[in-house]
Structure 1
């Protein structure tokens, strides 16, 4: 699977651990995130991940910032993105099952690295249920 990842200064250690996990599982990762703890602007990285989703260059995306909110809001500006802010693996599973989320946002200041990897694992290994959820997902996109 092709996965794009982006993070701001709150998430370098998270990103490094997640990229290692993904590559060990055989995924191809495009890394747009910073490796520095120096302040940067999260929209710069969210837009790159969102563009990869829009253009079909990535199957799924992962974005990381301190609260997970700002980077999720930015990613969701992209027409093809359904980004879900997830702080537990159960929420990640529901985001995939019910909302067909294709980008997960992780709040680095509110999760441990181990929790973040569990969130990513759940996100990758959970399928969209379709059915009654499909009509709702269809209503998410603005024309």
Structure 2
């Protein structure tokens, strides 16, 4: 799979470790930055990875910031994206199996390197199965399309 990976400065070192781990699993890891510990705002990185996922340039994405929260919120602003914050293996599996999340996020200030690798592997080793979960995802995406057609949500 072609996996986009990105971070802010808080997660630069963890991103580098996860990127190499992804390659070791046999996937293509496309690095969207940041490329040093110099301060950078995460929304641009999240928007670019999410946009490239929706355009079909990437199959999935992994985004890392201090907590994983901001990256997930930013990625979820891109239409048709489902991003899930994951800090344990079970959540990473369910993000894909139950929610067909194209992106997961993690927090470098929350988890360490070895857990990040386990989460990454769990997420990349499963595929969405549809079923009852598919019906729920369809409902979520239908509501998103409705909001987009209205031009606002409220």
> How many Å apart are 1:38 and its aligned residue?
2.3
Which aligned pairs between 1:31-50 and structure 2 lie closer than 5 A? 31-50=31-50
> 8 Å contact 1:68–1:106 — kept in the other structure?
yes
Instruction: Tell me how far apart the structure 1 counterparts of residues 127 and 54 of structure 2 sit (CA, whole Å).
Output: 20
Distance across 1 between alignment mates of 2:72 and 2:124: 18
TM-score, normalization by structure 1 = 0.96
* Residue 65 in structure 1 maps to residue 85 in structure 2: no
Structure 2: unaligned runs, 5 residues or longer: 146-154
Q: Which residue in 2 is equivalent to 1:52?
A: 52
In the alignment, what sits opposite 2:132?
132
Matched residues in 2 for 1:16 and 1:36: separation? 10
Q: What is the CA distance between 1:43 and its match in structure 2?
A: 0.3
1:38-68 deviation digits (Å, cap 9, x = unpaired): 2210001001101111110000000000010
1:111 aligns with 2:111: yes
Query: Considering only aligned residues, what root-mean-square deviation do their CA atoms show, in Å?
Result: 1.0
Q: In 1, Cα distance between the equivalents of 2:97 and 2:26?
A: 23
Write the distance in 2 (CA, Å) between the matches of 1:103 and 1:55: 14
Q: Secondary structure at the match of 2:116?
A: helix
Runs of 4+ in 1 over 3 A off after TM superposition: none
SS of equivalent to 1:121 = helix
Distance 2:106 2:70 in 1: 11
Q: Secondary structure at the match of 1:101?
A: coil
After superposition, the C-alpha distances for 1:57-98 in whole angstroms (9 at most, x for unaligned) are 000000000010111000011112110000001110111111
Larger Rg: 2
Task: Work out the number of aligned pairs and report it.
Answer: 143
